Amino acid sequence: MSGAKIRLLEGRDLLSPLSRWRPAVGELFPRPTPDEAVTLAEFHRWGFGMPAHDFLRSVLPELGIRLHHLHPEGLLQLTGFISPCEGFLGVAPHLYLFLRIFAVEGRKVRTGDATSLPSAG
């Protein structure tokens, strides 16, 4: 995504202009530094915001993945788990509860490339 597209998303209030966004122009695959999160514009068009919920930030390292490894449905599955936990069950969302409810499997897209979470079965 180009810098112009990032500014367009900021103009539509889909990205915070106070965050440090940078385009990945020229990168064949995402190569974030340890303090960066790679995200997809489509996530923000559907309401994903940064910083992400503590549950999401804790689950990704536990699963050995980063935000850009998720497809939109995988992200929705993880974030959609938060509301029933907090609002209905009255508990903090936890990875082990998530894994008891949903089947999660890793999948290599290409050698050395991303891993994605499929939709739950």
Report the chain's C-alpha Rg in angstroms: 15
Task: Give the residue from 34, 44, 39 showing the smallest Cα distance to 22.
Answer: 39
Angle between helix 54-63 and helix 72-80 axes, rounded to 10 deg: 120
Identify the segments of the chain with pLDDT beneath 70: 1, 17-19, 46-51, 106-121
- Please report the pLDDT score of residue 1 as a whole number: 64
Q: Residue 13: what are its φ and ψ, rounded to 5°?
A: 60, 30
How far apart, in whole angstroms, are the C-alpha atoms of residue 69 and residue 38?
Answer: 9
User: pTM of this prediction?
Assistant: 0.55
Q: What is the pLDDT of residue 85?
A: 92
What is the pLDDT at residue 40? Answer: 72
C-alpha to C-alpha distance for 76 and 118, rounded to whole angstroms: 11
Q: Give the per-residue pLDDT at 36.
A: 74
In the prediction, which pLDDT does 46 show? 66
Check residue 18 and give its pLDDT.
61
What confidence tens digit (pLDDT) does each residue in 32-54 have?
777 777 777 777 776 666 667 78
pLDDT for res 117: 46
